[in-house]
Amino acid sequence: MDENAKTIRILCPKLVLSKTGIQWLIGSPFFTPLTVVSTLRCIHSDSSSPDYDTESDDLRTLLPKGFNVIGALIIKNSDLEKKNAGEAIDAARRLRKLLSGEAELRNTVTIGAVADSVTGDVQFFVSRSEKPADIETVDFVLYDDNPEKYVWERGCLIRCELPITLPFYYPVNNTSEAEKMYLHATEAVIAKFKDPQIVYMAETLTQASTESPQPVILRGKDLDFHMVLSDIKLVGEAAQDSDTTALSCAHFCSKSKSSTTVLSAENADTIQVSVLLNRSEKSPKSTVPIAKYCPASQEARLLIVDFKLQVLCYATKSLPLMYAISKLVFPGLVDQLNSLKKAILPNLFTQHPQLYPYHFSPPGVLHPVTVIYELSYGETELKQVDVRKSLHLRMGLPFDRPLLRIANALDLSTTKDGSRNNSSRKGSPLLKDVHFGIPSSGVSGGVVSLVQGSYEYYHYLQDGFDDSGWGCAYRSLQTIVSWFKLQHYTSIDVPSHREIQQSLVEIGDKDPSFIGSREWIGAIELSFVLDKLLGVSCKVLNVRSGAELPEKCRELALHFESQGTPIMIGGGVLAYTLLGIDYNEASGDCAFLILDPHYTGNDEHKKIVNGGWCGWKKAVDSKGRNFFLHDKFYNLLLPQRPDMV
């Protein structure tokens, strides 16, 4: 084995280790050999080994084509010997054989890693075969400093959406025969994907119309469905447009990107592939239409099954388009159709489950993943929650935030100018994360604790609504709700002043005359609204004067580190939004990061920061002045992050 084959490149931020068990190491045929892009935990196993059939079914759905299992990491208490590496290599090869077939294992190097569950130390081994004698120790392990660049500068996404309506007749008195006919009908659909007359039309999703290349047509008769992916010769970007079989995926990708573009799945070049069945070609024989009557030998009934396929694949930009379709899109469609077919079969004669695939790009996972959700269930119902919990467990995601809800799904649709759709209010979009780039607090040796995640800045006079002098707490509440919305804890719109008042009337806190009034609200009313609209509980801190606020710094820092939600501070008729604190526990010096809803100007970030409408306010400044008044009573509303997935 050459020296290059004994160097492991790690792209994932870290290897997520559990106490015991197996982690599948994920790579790509388009990366240099032995490059680990992510790890996925084995969650189906008995006392001795993984349940390979169930694991392969799960990963076949979860992993986009273009990523595969290249090894396994086995976690032991202390023993890092080769025999454990052999166990990991054997497990990875068995799983990959189920996922990709015997041909893809030919001349493939498999990684076997052994981790100490106590120290976290990991030892890597590699092997080209299942023979224990062929296992070799890895010489070097490289951790990439910019893994997003490695993945997304060289690669693109390919998306194929295909709704299928499958009608078939079955004998009423023979359900087992009906199931066979259903399976046969789906196999016939799969055969159509390779029909010589099938048409695959590829077009770009990510460029403006003036720059977009024309769609390209490839027919089934032009495609090679038998070539092994590792044997395909990559091509450059200079292939001529006239030869569609020589075009690479780069033909549909942006030639240059802005330096400010974030490299990620959300911003990746995306190729849209549509599937069409061409029946308009000239027939070699001239015939007249023929109607054939075939009477059924027994009573039959029509059954219609609907499938909604949406496949996402990853390819290097230098992969020929024809192979991107035959070796990525086609097997992706087949695997997803088989998954849906299997899920529908138990309910074939009853109400069919509403199954729909969604694609996600969870934080810390470099590649997208695909999940099929049953829309018959609400997202908060126990069955859906359990599905998401198992996915969080597999990918090592935290269990206290929703990362795989439908609202988190990748939006790969585009507007006419080629930009991805972004949610915004009516009119111009609101400013987000205004505190980015502000000057430091001036606290020497302090520890900064900040809001976690994005929020929108709501302030006086927005949307032409005059709430100057009374609406500051309403605006602070809107900013807090926007945080929950942007973190996907809710899909409701940020409520207007009237909707906030309506909520308080509906729970009996206010009289009907309150709706449409200009009355102030405080921390208690905000907690009522958050509970009613979002189901969010709140903690309220009472401070007798501004002089006592620094005494709450330790508790506020813990809030930002554990909950991460914005805080509303109310005192008298004034309300502010607290986004963080800078606190030196030894000296007691502290500063509060205030987002001021009393601002009445245009949404210009520079103007807001320079005017002090978002910035650090010291409890006592250098001139002895206090931002929070000594003689004023303050309430602090600390919204709690729901424990949910």
Q: Is 614 a catalytic residue?
A: no
Closest CA to 278 of 201, 205, 190: 201
Counting residues of the chain whose pLDDT is more than 70, the rounded percentage is 88
Mean pLDDT taken over the chain: 87
Taking the C-alpha atoms of residue 24 and residue 69, their distance in angstroms, rounded to an integer, is 6
Residues 6+ apart with CB under 8 A from 347: 353
CA 10-12-18 angle, 5° bins? 105
- Note whether 394 and 63 are within 8 A (CB): no
H or E element that contains 151: helix 147-152
* Buried b or exposed e, range 321-345, using 16+ CB within 10 angstroms: bbbbbbbbbbbbbbbbbbbbbeebe
| Over residues 440-466, mean pLDDT | 93
pLDDT digits (tens, 9 = 90+) for 386-427: 999 999 999 999 888 889 988 889 988 754 344 444 444 445
User: Can you tell me whether residue 500 is helix, strand or coil?
Assistant: helix
Give pLDDT, residue 419.
43
Confidence of residue 274 (pLDDT cuts 50, 70, 90): very high
Residues in the chain: 645
Mean pLDDT confidence for 229-253: 77
Q: Rounded to whole angstroms, how far apart are CA atoms 148 and 173?
A: 57
Rounded distance, CA 170 to CA 179, Å?
A: 8
Highest mean pLDDT among 7-21, 77-91, 402-416, 458-472: 458-472
Helical packing angle, 52-62 and 382-395, nearest 10°: 90
Q: Could you say which of 57, 144, 335, 596 is catalytic?
A: 596
Reduced DSSP (H G I as helix, E B as strand, rest coil) percent helix, strand, coil of the chain, to 5? 30, 25, 45
Query: In this predicted structure, what is the pLDDT of residue 418?
Result: 43
Mean pLDDT across 151-162 = 96
pLDDT of residue 549: 85
| C-alpha distance from residue 59 to each of 5, 43, 93 (Å) | 26, 11, 14
What's the CA gap between 567 and 545, in Å, rounded?
17
Active-site hit among 42, 472, 538, 614: 472
Q: Is 70 helix (H, G, I), strand (E, B) or coil?
A: strand
Give this prediction's pTM: 0.79
The tens digit of pLDDT for each residue in 310-352 reads: 999 999 999 999 999 999 999 999 999 999 999 999 999 999 9
What is the structure's pLDDT at 93?
93
pLDDT of amino acid 3: 46
- pLDDT of 208: 52
Closest CA to 477 of 507, 522, 446: 522
The C-alpha atoms of residue 470 and residue 238 are separated, in whole angstroms, by 64
Q: pLDDT tens across 492-549, in order? A: 899 999 999 999 999 999 999 999 999 999 999 999 999 999 989 999 999 888 778 8
Torsion over CA: 174, 175, 180, 186 (sign): positive
- Is-catalytic flag, 145? no
Is residue 488 flagged as an active site residue? no
What is the average per-residue pLDDT within 294-299? 79
% of residues, the chain, pLDDT over 90: 61
Cα gap 410→407, rounded to integer Å: 9
Identified catalytic residue from 352, 488, 598, 605: 598
Q: Which of 561, 562, 559, 596 is nearest to 576 (CA)?
A: 596
Distances (CA, A) of 375 to 127, 348, 383, 401, 599: 43, 17, 11, 21, 43
Per the model's pLDDT, the better-predicted residue between 172 and 579 turns out to be 579
pLDDT (tens digit, 9 = 90+) per residue, 579-615? Answer: 999 999 999 899 999 999 999 999 999 999 999 999 9
- Closest to 270 measured CA to CA, from 62, 395, 421: 421
3-state secondary structure 234-270: CCCCCCCCCCHHHCEHHHHCCCCCCCCCCCCCCCCCE
pLDDT of 32 over the 60 cut: yes
pLDDT at 629: 57
The DSSP 8-state label assigned to residue 64 in this structure reads: P
Residue 626's pLDDT is what?
A: 62
What pLDDT, on a 0 to 100 scale, did the predictor assign at position 416?
A: 39
Q: Could you tell me the end-to-end alpha-carbon distance of the chain, in angstroms, rounded to an integer?
A: 45
What the block records as the tokens of 484 is 């929950």
What pairing do the DSSP bridges indicate for beta strands 574-583 and 567-571?
antiparallel
